[in-house]
Homo-oligomer: A and B are copies of this chain.
Protein backbone atom coordinates (compact mmCIF):
# COMPACT_ATOMS: atom_id res chain seq x y z
CA UNK A 1 0.00 0.00 0.00
CA UNK A 2 1.21 3.44 -0.67
CA UNK A 3 -0.01 6.91 0.06
CA UNK A 4 -0.37 9.53 -2.68
CA UNK A 5 0.70 13.06 -1.89
CA UNK A 6 1.75 16.29 -3.51
CA UNK A 7 5.11 17.16 -2.06
CA UNK A 8 8.30 19.02 -2.66
CA UNK A 9 11.27 16.85 -3.49
CA UNK A 10 12.91 17.86 -0.23
CA UNK A 11 9.85 16.96 1.78
CA UNK A 12 9.41 13.67 -0.01
CA UNK A 13 12.99 12.78 0.79
CA UNK A 14 12.50 13.62 4.44
CA UNK A 15 9.24 11.71 4.67
CA UNK A 16 10.81 8.73 2.94
CA UNK A 17 13.63 8.78 5.47
CA UNK A 18 11.17 8.44 8.32
CA UNK A 19 9.26 5.71 6.54
CA UNK A 20 12.41 3.81 5.61
CA UNK A 21 13.23 3.53 9.28
CA UNK A 22 16.28 5.74 9.13
CA UNK A 23 17.79 6.10 12.60
CA UNK A 24 19.24 9.55 12.47
CA UNK A 25 19.41 12.76 10.52
CA UNK A 26 21.86 15.54 11.27
CA UNK A 27 21.82 18.75 9.30
CA UNK A 28 22.29 22.47 9.11
CA UNK A 29 19.92 24.80 7.25
CA UNK A 30 20.79 26.01 3.79
CA UNK A 31 18.64 26.95 0.81
CA UNK A 32 17.40 25.14 -1.28
CA UNK A 33 17.20 22.14 1.00
CA UNK A 34 16.11 23.41 4.40
CA UNK A 35 12.72 21.75 3.93
CA UNK A 36 14.40 18.43 4.63
CA UNK A 37 15.12 19.18 8.25
CA UNK A 38 12.00 21.31 8.57
CA UNK A 39 9.79 18.47 7.45
CA UNK A 40 11.57 16.06 9.74
CA UNK A 41 11.19 18.35 12.74
CA UNK A 42 7.54 19.00 11.97
CA UNK A 43 6.84 15.29 11.75
CA UNK A 44 8.11 14.54 15.27
CA UNK A 45 10.05 11.54 14.03
CA UNK A 46 11.20 10.80 17.57
CA UNK A 47 7.60 10.00 18.28
CA UNK A 48 6.76 8.36 14.98
CA UNK A 49 9.72 5.99 14.86
CA UNK A 50 12.22 7.08 17.45
CA UNK A 51 14.40 8.60 14.74
CA UNK A 52 16.93 11.10 16.04
CA UNK A 53 16.79 14.44 14.25
CA UNK A 54 19.27 17.05 15.33
CA UNK A 55 20.11 20.46 13.97
CA UNK A 56 23.88 20.62 14.23
CA UNK A 57 25.94 23.74 14.84
CA UNK A 58 27.46 23.46 11.36
CA UNK A 59 27.75 21.22 8.35
CA UNK A 60 31.01 19.90 9.70
CA UNK A 61 29.45 18.90 12.98
CA UNK A 62 26.58 17.33 11.03
CA UNK A 63 28.75 15.12 8.84
CA UNK A 64 30.78 14.05 11.84
CA UNK A 65 27.61 13.21 13.71
CA UNK A 66 26.71 11.05 10.74
CA UNK A 67 30.13 9.44 11.05
CA UNK A 68 29.53 8.78 14.72
CA UNK A 69 26.05 7.41 14.16
CA UNK A 70 27.15 5.29 11.21
CA UNK A 71 29.97 3.82 13.25
CA UNK A 72 27.37 2.32 15.58
CA UNK A 73 25.71 0.38 12.78
CA UNK A 74 22.72 2.67 12.55
CA UNK A 75 21.28 4.32 9.48
CA UNK A 76 22.35 7.94 9.44
CA UNK A 77 22.04 10.67 6.88
CA UNK A 78 22.61 14.35 6.30
CA UNK A 79 21.68 16.83 3.61
CA UNK A 80 22.98 20.17 2.50
CA UNK A 81 23.62 22.26 -0.57
CA UNK A 82 26.83 23.08 -2.41
CA UNK A 83 28.85 25.27 0.01
CA UNK A 84 27.74 23.07 2.87
CA UNK A 85 28.80 19.95 1.02
CA UNK A 86 32.24 21.42 0.42
CA UNK A 87 32.55 21.75 4.17
CA UNK A 88 31.60 18.13 4.62
CA UNK A 89 34.25 16.75 2.31
CA UNK A 90 36.80 15.91 4.95
CA UNK A 91 34.12 13.99 6.80
CA UNK A 92 32.95 12.27 3.62
CA UNK A 93 36.48 11.16 2.92
CA UNK A 94 36.65 9.79 6.47
CA UNK A 95 33.40 7.89 5.94
CA UNK A 96 34.83 6.29 2.82
CA UNK A 97 38.15 5.56 4.49
CA UNK A 98 36.55 4.06 7.57
CA UNK A 99 34.11 2.09 5.40
CA UNK A 100 30.99 3.47 6.95
CA UNK A 101 27.53 3.27 5.42
CA UNK A 102 25.81 6.64 5.29
CA UNK A 103 23.72 8.77 2.99
CA UNK A 104 24.58 12.34 2.06
CA UNK A 105 22.19 14.50 0.05
CA UNK A 106 23.35 17.47 -2.00
CA UNK A 107 20.58 19.71 -3.32
CA UNK A 108 22.89 21.63 -5.59
CA UNK A 109 22.76 25.38 -6.15
CA UNK A 110 24.85 27.59 -8.38
CA UNK A 111 28.46 28.23 -7.44
CA UNK A 112 31.30 28.85 -6.96
CA UNK A 113 31.40 30.57 -3.59
CA UNK A 114 28.17 31.76 -2.12
CA UNK A 115 26.87 31.83 -5.68
CA UNK A 116 23.12 31.75 -6.10
CA UNK A 117 20.45 29.67 -4.52
CA UNK A 118 19.04 28.60 -7.85
CA UNK A 119 19.38 25.07 -9.27
CA UNK A 120 22.66 23.89 -10.71
CA UNK A 121 24.59 20.75 -11.56
CA UNK A 122 27.99 22.31 -11.13
CA UNK A 123 28.95 19.88 -8.37
CA UNK A 124 29.17 16.91 -10.73
CA UNK A 125 32.95 16.73 -10.64
CA UNK A 126 33.00 17.10 -6.88
CA UNK A 127 30.52 14.28 -6.55
CA UNK A 128 31.92 11.73 -8.97
CA UNK A 129 35.62 12.45 -9.25
CA UNK A 130 36.48 13.06 -5.65
CA UNK A 131 35.74 16.26 -3.85
CA UNK A 132 37.43 14.93 -0.78
CA UNK A 133 41.08 13.93 -0.52
CA UNK A 134 42.41 10.49 -1.30
CA UNK A 135 41.54 7.55 -3.50
CA UNK A 136 37.86 7.01 -2.98
CA UNK A 137 34.55 7.20 -4.78
CA UNK A 138 31.00 7.79 -3.76
CA UNK A 139 28.11 5.80 -5.12
CA UNK A 140 26.06 8.63 -6.62
CA UNK A 141 22.33 8.51 -7.26
CA UNK A 142 20.77 11.33 -9.26
CA UNK A 143 17.00 11.61 -8.80
CA UNK A 144 15.01 13.28 -11.56
CA UNK A 145 11.62 13.48 -9.89
CA UNK A 146 9.99 13.92 -6.54
CA UNK A 147 9.14 10.23 -6.63
CA UNK A 148 12.81 9.39 -6.98
CA UNK A 149 13.71 11.79 -4.18
CA UNK A 150 11.50 9.58 -2.09
CA UNK A 151 12.48 6.19 -3.48
CA UNK A 152 16.20 6.74 -3.51
CA UNK A 153 16.47 7.13 0.24
CA UNK A 154 15.90 3.46 0.81
CA UNK A 155 17.91 2.48 -2.25
CA UNK A 156 20.78 4.59 -1.03
CA UNK A 157 20.81 2.93 2.37
CA UNK A 158 20.66 -0.49 0.77
CA UNK A 159 23.76 0.27 -1.23
CA UNK A 160 25.45 1.97 1.69
CA UNK A 161 25.06 -1.09 3.86
CA UNK A 162 25.75 -3.56 1.09
CA UNK A 163 29.14 -1.99 0.56
CA UNK A 164 29.74 -0.26 3.86
CA UNK A 165 30.32 2.93 1.93
CA UNK A 166 28.90 6.43 1.82
CA UNK A 167 26.28 7.11 -0.85
CA UNK A 168 25.51 10.51 -2.29
CA UNK A 169 22.09 11.54 -3.53
CA UNK A 170 22.90 14.29 -5.98
CA UNK A 171 19.82 16.40 -6.46
CA UNK A 172 19.41 20.06 -7.26
CA UNK A 173 17.26 23.04 -6.41
CA UNK A 174 14.72 22.21 -9.08
CA UNK A 175 14.08 18.65 -7.98
CA UNK A 176 14.27 19.68 -4.34
CA UNK A 177 11.84 22.59 -4.61
CA UNK A 178 9.30 21.34 -7.10
CA UNK A 179 6.16 19.52 -6.07
CA UNK A 180 4.90 16.45 -7.81
CA UNK A 181 2.76 13.50 -6.99
CA UNK A 182 4.55 11.02 -4.89
CA UNK A 183 3.58 7.54 -3.82
CA UNK A 184 4.94 7.16 -0.34
CA UNK A 185 5.84 3.74 0.93
CA UNK A 186 4.44 2.34 4.11
CA UNK A 187 6.20 2.93 7.36
CA UNK A 188 8.94 0.42 8.01
CA UNK A 189 10.03 -0.41 11.49
CA UNK A 190 13.36 0.86 12.67
CA UNK A 191 15.70 -1.92 13.66
CA UNK A 192 15.89 -2.49 17.37
CA UNK A 193 19.21 -2.18 19.13
CA UNK A 194 19.36 -5.95 19.32
CA UNK A 195 18.76 -6.32 15.61
CA UNK A 196 21.45 -3.77 14.87
CA UNK A 197 23.89 -5.68 17.02
CA UNK A 198 23.00 -8.95 15.42
CA UNK A 199 23.29 -7.58 11.93
CA UNK A 200 26.23 -5.22 12.21
CA UNK A 201 27.86 -6.20 15.48
CA UNK A 202 30.70 -7.73 13.53
CA UNK A 203 32.07 -4.33 12.70
CA UNK A 204 30.06 -1.57 14.38
CA UNK A 205 30.92 -0.03 17.72
CA UNK A 206 28.03 -1.17 19.85
CA UNK A 207 29.94 -1.97 23.00
CA UNK A 208 32.50 -4.79 23.16
CA UNK A 209 31.02 -8.01 24.44
CA UNK A 210 32.68 -11.41 24.02
CA UNK A 211 33.72 -10.66 20.51
CA UNK A 212 36.93 -8.87 19.57
CA UNK A 213 36.65 -5.13 19.99
CA UNK A 214 35.44 -3.18 16.99
CA UNK A 215 37.39 -0.21 15.76
CA UNK A 216 36.26 2.39 13.27
CA UNK A 217 39.19 4.19 11.75
CA UNK A 218 40.57 5.40 8.46
CA UNK A 219 44.14 5.57 9.68
CA UNK A 220 47.02 3.32 8.85
CA UNK A 221 50.42 4.73 9.57
CA UNK A 222 51.93 1.82 7.70
CA UNK A 223 51.60 2.57 3.98
CA UNK A 224 51.67 -1.11 3.07
CA UNK A 225 48.53 -1.62 5.10
CA UNK A 226 47.04 1.61 3.89
CA UNK A 227 47.49 0.48 0.32
CA UNK A 228 45.64 -2.74 1.10
CA UNK A 229 42.82 -0.65 2.52
CA UNK A 230 42.62 1.43 -0.63
CA UNK A 231 42.63 -1.61 -2.87
CA UNK A 232 39.79 -2.99 -0.80
CA UNK A 233 37.83 0.15 -1.63
CA UNK A 234 38.67 -0.23 -5.31
CA UNK A 235 37.21 -3.70 -5.27
CA UNK A 236 33.95 -2.38 -3.94
CA UNK A 237 33.82 0.15 -6.71
CA UNK A 238 34.35 -2.57 -9.29
CA UNK A 239 31.55 -4.55 -7.77
CA UNK A 240 29.28 -1.50 -7.83
CA UNK A 241 29.94 -1.19 -11.55
CA UNK A 242 29.00 -4.78 -12.08
CA UNK A 243 26.01 -5.06 -9.82
CA UNK A 244 24.53 -1.67 -9.12
CA UNK A 245 24.77 0.47 -12.19
CA UNK A 246 21.50 2.25 -13.01
CA UNK A 247 20.36 4.22 -16.00
CA UNK A 248 17.27 4.87 -18.09
CA UNK A 249 16.95 4.91 -21.88
CA UNK A 250 14.25 7.09 -23.36
CA UNK A 251 13.40 6.85 -27.05
CA UNK A 252 16.79 5.32 -27.73
CA UNK A 253 15.73 2.41 -29.91
CA UNK A 254 15.80 4.30 -33.17
CA UNK A 255 17.70 7.35 -32.02
CA UNK A 256 20.14 9.00 -34.37
CA UNK A 257 21.12 11.67 -31.91
CA UNK A 258 21.51 11.23 -28.22
CA UNK A 259 21.13 13.49 -25.26
CA UNK A 260 22.91 12.43 -22.11
CA UNK A 261 21.52 14.14 -19.04
CA UNK A 262 20.75 13.40 -15.42
CA UNK A 263 18.52 14.91 -12.75
CA UNK A 264 16.67 18.06 -13.69
CA UNK A 265 18.54 18.34 -16.98
CA UNK A 266 17.16 14.94 -17.91
CA UNK A 267 13.65 16.24 -17.37
CA UNK A 268 14.32 19.13 -19.68
CA UNK A 269 16.15 17.00 -22.23
CA UNK A 270 13.22 14.64 -22.26
CA UNK A 271 10.99 17.45 -23.36
CA UNK A 272 13.62 18.36 -25.93
CA UNK A 273 13.38 14.81 -27.24
CA UNK A 274 9.64 15.30 -27.85
CA UNK A 275 10.23 18.66 -29.47
CA UNK A 276 12.92 17.12 -31.66
CA UNK A 277 10.76 14.22 -32.72
CA UNK A 278 7.99 16.64 -33.60
CA UNK A 279 10.51 18.24 -35.92
CA UNK A 280 11.48 14.89 -37.38
CA UNK A 281 14.81 14.60 -35.60
CA UNK A 282 15.22 11.17 -34.11
CA UNK A 283 16.56 12.09 -30.74
CA UNK A 284 16.90 9.90 -27.65
CA UNK A 285 17.98 10.32 -24.10
CA UNK A 286 20.29 8.28 -21.96
CA UNK A 287 19.72 9.22 -18.35
CA UNK A 288 22.41 7.96 -16.00
CA UNK A 289 20.66 7.30 -12.70
CA UNK A 290 23.92 6.43 -11.02
CA UNK A 291 26.65 8.91 -11.86
CA UNK A 292 29.14 6.61 -10.27
CA UNK A 293 29.12 3.89 -11.45
CA UNK A 294 28.59 5.45 -14.85
CA UNK A 295 26.82 3.72 -17.77
CA UNK A 296 29.92 3.74 -19.94
CA UNK A 297 29.34 0.43 -21.66
CA UNK A 298 25.86 1.54 -22.57
CA UNK A 299 27.21 4.74 -24.03
CA UNK A 300 29.98 2.89 -25.81
CA UNK A 301 27.38 0.73 -27.47
CA UNK A 302 24.95 3.53 -28.27
CA UNK A 303 27.84 5.31 -29.94
CA UNK A 304 27.70 2.68 -32.67
CA UNK A 305 24.12 3.61 -33.37
CA UNK A 306 23.94 7.39 -33.10
CA UNK A 307 25.61 10.10 -35.10
CA UNK A 308 26.36 12.46 -32.30
CA UNK A 309 25.87 13.05 -28.62
CA UNK A 310 25.03 16.11 -26.57
CA UNK A 311 25.74 16.14 -22.87
CA UNK A 312 23.17 18.43 -21.30
CA UNK A 313 24.10 19.79 -17.89
CA UNK A 314 23.41 22.77 -15.66
CA UNK A 315 27.09 23.67 -15.66
CA UNK A 316 29.91 24.67 -17.98
CA UNK A 317 30.89 21.14 -18.93
CA UNK A 318 31.62 18.42 -16.44
CA UNK A 319 29.84 15.14 -17.15
CA UNK A 320 30.76 15.58 -20.79
CA UNK A 321 34.22 14.27 -19.89
CA UNK A 322 32.76 11.00 -18.70
CA UNK A 323 30.71 10.80 -21.85
CA UNK A 324 33.84 11.34 -23.93
CA UNK A 325 35.77 8.76 -21.97
CA UNK A 326 32.98 6.27 -22.51
CA UNK A 327 32.34 6.98 -26.17
CA UNK A 328 36.01 6.64 -26.97
CA UNK A 329 35.84 9.02 -29.82
CA UNK A 330 33.51 7.00 -31.97
CA UNK A 331 31.14 9.92 -32.58
CA UNK A 332 31.27 13.62 -31.78
CA UNK A 333 30.41 14.48 -28.22
CA UNK A 334 29.39 18.01 -27.36
CA UNK A 335 28.30 19.82 -24.24
CA UNK A 336 25.46 22.22 -23.67
CA UNK A 337 24.70 23.84 -20.42
CA UNK A 338 23.62 26.93 -18.60
CA UNK A 339 25.12 27.82 -15.28
CA UNK A 340 24.93 30.08 -12.26
CA UNK A 341 21.40 29.01 -11.41
CA UNK A 342 19.87 29.41 -14.84
CA UNK A 343 17.82 26.48 -16.07
CA UNK A 344 17.93 25.83 -19.76
CA UNK A 345 14.64 25.53 -21.57
CA UNK A 346 13.77 22.49 -23.70
CA UNK A 347 13.84 24.76 -26.72
CA UNK A 348 17.38 25.85 -26.01
CA UNK A 349 18.48 22.28 -25.53
CA UNK A 350 17.08 21.23 -28.86
CA UNK A 351 18.66 24.20 -30.54
CA UNK A 352 22.00 23.21 -29.06
CA UNK A 353 21.62 19.72 -30.47
CA UNK A 354 20.98 21.17 -33.88
CA UNK A 355 23.78 23.70 -33.74
CA UNK A 356 26.48 21.74 -32.04
CA UNK A 357 25.87 18.13 -32.94
CA UNK A 358 23.74 17.75 -36.01
CA UNK A 359 25.62 20.29 -38.08
CA UNK A 360 28.99 19.24 -36.73
CA UNK A 361 28.07 15.62 -37.01
CA UNK A 362 27.56 16.00 -40.73
CA UNK A 363 30.99 17.44 -41.27
CA UNK A 364 32.22 15.14 -38.59
CA UNK A 365 35.91 14.70 -39.37
CA UNK A 366 38.57 14.08 -36.82
CA UNK A 367 39.76 17.64 -36.68
CA UNK A 368 36.46 19.11 -35.64
CA UNK A 369 36.06 16.44 -33.08
CA UNK A 370 39.43 17.17 -31.68
CA UNK A 371 38.74 20.83 -31.34
CA UNK A 372 35.56 20.12 -29.53
CA UNK A 373 37.30 18.04 -26.95
CA UNK A 374 40.57 19.84 -26.47
Contact = CB atoms under 8 A, between A and B. Distances in A.
Given A223-B340, A223-B341, A326-B374, A135 B111 contact: yes
Interface in A274-312: 296-297, 300
Interface in A200-253: 217-231, 233-234
Contact of A222 (B116, B120, B373): B116
Contact of A110 (B85, B108, B112, B226): B226
A118 B223 contact: yes
A61 interface: no
Contact of A325 (B83, B134, B325): B325
Those 9 A-B pairs whose CB atoms lie nearest each other, nearest first: A111-B134, A113-B218, A97-B113, A223-B341, A112-B134, A226-B340, A227-B340, A82-B133, A97-B112
Given A113-B217, A122-B134, A130-B318, 7 more contacts: A60-B60, A86-B132, A87-B89, A93-B112, A110-B134, A116-B220, A229-B340
A236 to B, nearest CB: 12
A45 to B, nearest CB: 28
B83 A90 contact: yes
A41 interface: no
Number of copies: 2
A187 B151 CA distance: 62
A138 to B, nearest CB: 11
Contacts of A82: 133-134
Nearest to A322: B321
A77 to B, nearest CB: 19
Contact of A122 (B60, B135, B342): B135
Interface in A82-116: 82-83, 85-87, 89-90, 93-98, 108, 110-116
A135 B315 contact: yes
Contacts of A226: 110, 115-116, 118, 339-342
A65 B356 CA distance: 44
A172 to B, nearest CB: 12
Contact of A130 (B94, B129, B135, B340): B129
B129 A111 contact: no
Interface of A: 60, 82-83, 85-87, 89-90, 93-98, 108, 110-118, 120, 122-123, 125-126, 129-136, 217-231, 233-234, 296-297, 300, 315-316, 318, 321, 324-326, 328-329, 338-342, 369-370, 373-374
A218 to B, nearest CB: 2
Contacts of A233: 112
Given A113-B94, A115-B220, A221-B116, A370 B328 contact: yes
A113 B95 CA distance: 7
Contacts of A328: 329, 369-370, 373
A261 to B, nearest CB: 17
Given A300-B370, A321-B321, A326-B374, A112 B94 contact: yes
Contact of A133 (B83, B117, B130, B369): B83
A133 B123 contact: yes
Contacts of A340: 135, 220, 223-230
A218 B114 contact: yes
A83 B93 contact: yes
Contact of A126 (B123, B131, B296): B131
Contacts of A229: 340
B117 A134 contact: no
